[in-house]
Structure 1
Amino acid sequence: MRVGVGSTNPMKRDATESALAAVAGASVESVAVESGVSEQPFGERETVEGAQNRARNVLDAGEYDLGIGLEGGVAEVEGADGLFLIMWAAATDGDRTGRGAGPRLRLPESIAVRVRDGEELGPVMDDVLDVENVAEKQGAAGALTGHAIDREGALRQAVAGAVGPFVTDLYE
């Protein structure tokens, strides 16, 4: 199975490859595609839309059996105070679409204020942690959990949920 993941970020490719490790013959390639949403998606709806757009755009970009889109965003979560880092994945073969989410991680208020004021989370985290390209390393997930999870693991969880309809017979 030839799989394209709609990003050149190595973390997203590695997470997809890891989620599909048990699928015989699966090969994963990075494909640069547009998300069609803002650089910093805000809310579940925009984040899911970005993941779905990326997955569809992968299929349009080449000869892939499955397109995977991953999108990170921030959202207010009903019933919980604060702003949360969220992750969504979508998988499509052109006919069906599967979706899966990663963990929700509450942002410290000092970071949430900056994101609400219009800054993107990645550069804010780079600034707070005094590193470059945290999104291609541990990610905010690693920093926010004391390295209990990392960005690849969080994204792998989302991809695993999204590919469910393509790797099991439990979905109709």
Structure 2
Amino acid sequence: MYVGVGSGNPVKRRAVESVLEATDAFDSDATVEAVPVDSGVSEQPVGHAETVRGAETRAANVLESGEYDLGVGIEGGVARVEGASGLFLVMWAAVDDGETSGLGSGPSLRLPDAIAARVESGEELGPVMDDVLGESDVAKRQGAAGALTGGSLDRQSALAAAVSGALGPFATDHY
């Protein structure tokens, strides 16, 4: 099986690899490749709808190349959640084979107020986290998820949860 992940970010590729390796329904020899594609949404998606659209667009754009059995799109965004205060980091994954598609979300993590204020003023979360942590390329390592949970949940694991949900229609016959 040849799987394309619609991003050049190695964390997203590793998240997909980890899920495929752990799922009995997939060949252990699946090849997973990073495929940088356009998301069709803003650099910092806001709201669940825009974040889902970004994941779906990435998956579809991977398939357009004609080389992959599965296209996987993963998109992180920020959203307000009805009934909860604050701004949350959200993540969505989409998987598509041209006939069947699946969607799944990862955990939602409340952003600290100071970080949320910067994002709401127009900054992208990744560079804000780099600045706050005094590091670079946080999004390619622990991600905001790792920083905001004291390392108990890293970005790869959080994204893997979203990918696991999106692979449901491909991994079981319950759909």
Do both proteins adopt the same fold according to a TM-score greater than 0.5, normalized to the shorter chain? Answer: yes
Name the % identity: 65
CA–CA distance in structure 2, aligned partners of residues 13 and 123 of structure 1: 21
**Separation (CA, whole Å) in 2 of partners of 1:131 and 1:27:** 31
Partner of 1:126: 130
Give yes or no for the alignment of 1:164 onto 2:168: yes
Q: Of the candidates 15, 39, 44, which is equivalent to residue 40 of structure 1?
A: 44
| Structure 1 residue 110 corresponds to structure 2 residue 114 | yes
What does residue 55 of structure 1 align with? 59
TM-score, normalised to structure 2's length? 0.96
**Alpha-carbon distance, 1:159 to partner:** 0.4
Report how many residues are paired: 171
Alignment map for 1:6-45 (pairs within 5 Å) = 6-21=6-21, 22=23, 23-24=26-27, 25-45=29-49
**Residues in 2 aligned to 1:14 and 1:120: alpha-carbon distance in whole angstroms:** 23
Q: Which runs of 5+ in 2 are unaligned?
A: none
The 1-side partners of 2:34 and 2:137 are apart by 18
Q: What residue identity is the alignment partner of 1:9?
A: N
Tell me, which stretches of 5 or more residues in structure 1 are unaligned? Answer: none
> TM-score under structure 1 normalisation?
0.98
Pairwise CA RMSD of aligned residues?
A: 0.7
Q: Distance in 2 between matches of 1:168 and 1:85?
A: 29
Runs of 4+, deviation exceeding 6 Å: none
- Report the residue type matching 1:138 in the other structure: Q
Instruction: Measure, in 2, the Cα distance between the counterparts of 1:5 and 1:81.
Output: 33
Task: Letter of the 1:122 partner, please give it.
Answer: G
**Aligned counterpart, 1:3:** 3
| SS in structure 1 at match of 2:88 | strand
